[in-house]
Amino acid sequence: MRGAHRIRILGAAAAMPLIALMLAPHTIAQPAPMPLLTDTPQYCAELSDEVEEVRQSLVSPAPPEVEQLAEEGRRLCAMGEIRGGIVRLRRAMVLLREISGQT
């Protein structure tokens, strides 16, 4: 009886990591989002300039998604919605870096 009980406990302990993976599969496959270090209008402008610089360095035109994100980010920054603007500009930058081969 004691041996069977011990096997059941060991089996349950071995299954725990699998249960954790099944409950939160998205936490393993996706990278952590970039932290927002500053949320000033100046940073919005700097990031917008950086996006434009990388966009202009591309051999072919940037995809519409990048253009849309960058434009929306600039618009939000201009309206005072700094965090939303920065989030969109950063997403545009990530996509541009993937396209250009920068990491």
pTM for the predicted model, two decimal places: 0.62
How far is residue 78's CA from residue 93's CA, in Å, rounded to a whole number? 18
Confidence (pLDDT) at 10: 47
Q: What is the pLDDT of residues 44-57, one digit of tens each?
A: 999 999 999 999 99
Domain layout of the chain by residue ranges:
1-30, 41-100
pLDDT at residue 18, as a whole number = 47
User: pLDDT under 50 in the chain at which residues?
Assistant: 6-7, 10, 16, 18, 21, 27
CA dist 88 and 83 (Å) reads 9
**pLDDT computed for residue 17 by the predictor:** 53
- Give the pLDDT confidence of 4-14 residue by residue, as tens digits: 554 455 455 55
Amino acid 77: pLDDT: 96
